[in-house]
Amino acid sequence: MVAIKIILAGPRGKMGKEAVKMIENEPKFELVSCIDRKNNGKKLSEVLSSTALQVPIFEDPESCFSSVKADVFIDLTIPNVGYINTKAALERGIHAVVGTSGFTDEQLSELTKTAEAKGVGCIIAPNFALGAVLMMVFSKMAAKYFPDVEVIEKHHDQKIDAPSGTAVKTVEMIKEVRQAKQQGHPDEYESIEGARGANIDGIHVHSMRLPGLVAHQEVVFGSKSQLLSIKHDSFHRESFMDGLHLAVEEVSKYKTLVYGLENILDLQ
């Protein structure tokens, strides 16, 4: 068995640490290098007490990709950095799996072009928790029959982007099947700005940020005398590792960008 060689960006982050653990515990995977914004030239074990891996750390993604041979690049950083890293990986013909959320439509379209031009796969998933992906799929099914819907997403207070990538993706999926409608009272107004949350094409998204939370979302559908709530909670970043594992295994089958883990799951 030849292991899939992986370069990981963001190894000191909360997701990054979990990813290092997941890769270390999977004989089919091999971590060959990391990209970090500090610690250039050090070994991973020198900066992460949880691992004995001696893989080299690079601050510059280009130097990393040109010095170390890899099959898959994983990005778990912040949007602008993740975009630069991912584009550089794809340009080198390295498949990419991205958990970093907050890419713009322009960035996604540029990465799609690069992946297709180089004939490599790029899986970007706003949420790698399989339960969260099913929550989105079930919400899309419900929206066909329940067009009145609002989304409440709750995350830890260190998250920098809002609304969450999962909430935006959920709304996109709902929009594919929901009949367009003006929700709420036609004369509704906010006496305090922001009271109704973000409005994505008529669907309101409410974002909560508090210590103690990890990643949680509830999609609430309202109808005459009934409410349907579809809810998912990630209590630990470990919950994202099954989906990340699957994406790393599957990404080399693609020659384009795939946005959303639901597109690589068997949901029939």
Looking at beta carbons only, is 11 or 197 nearer to ligand NAP?
11
Between CA 200 and CA 213 the distance in angstroms is 24
Structure-token pair, residue 208: 């909560």
Q: Which residue is nearest to ligand NAP (CB)?
A: 13
The DSSP bridge pattern shows strands 215-223 and 122-124 to be unpaired
Least separation in angstroms between residue 223's CB and ligand NAP is 31
Give the relative orientation of helices 79-91 and 105-118 as an angle to the nearest 10 degrees: 10
Looking at beta carbons only, is 114 or 164 nearer to ligand NAP?
164
Looking at beta carbons only, is 124 or 147 nearer to ligand NAP?
124
Residues 6+ apart with CB under 8 A from 125: 97, 98, 99, 133, 243, 247, 259, 260, 261
Least separation in angstroms between residue 236's CB and ligand NAP is 11
Looking at beta carbons only, is 99 or 147 nearer to ligand NAP?
99
Q: Using only C-alpha atoms, what is the Rg of the chain?
A: 20
Residue tagged active-site, from 156, 159, 175, 204: 159
Least separation in angstroms between residue 180's CB and ligand NAP is 29
β-partners of residue 231 are 218
> What is the helix (H) or strand (E) element at residue 237, kind and residue range?
none
Neighbours of 103 (CB within 10 A): 22
Contact by Cβ (8 Å): 79, 218: no
Residue tagged active-site, from 155, 169, 216, 232: 155
Least separation in angstroms between residue 253's CB and ligand NAP is 20
- Identify the CA nearest to 28 among candidates 4, 6, 52: 4
From its phi and psi, is residue 260 left (phi > 0), alpha (psi between -120 and 50) or beta? left
Note if 140 is an active site residue: no
Note if 236 is an active site residue: no
Looking at beta carbons only, is 32 or 76 nearer to ligand NAP?
76
Residues binding ligand NAP (CB under 6 A): 10, 12-16, 37, 76-78, 81, 99-101, 125-128, 158-159, 215, 240
Least separation in angstroms between residue 246's CB and ligand NAP is 12
Q: Catalytic residue positions? A: 155, 159
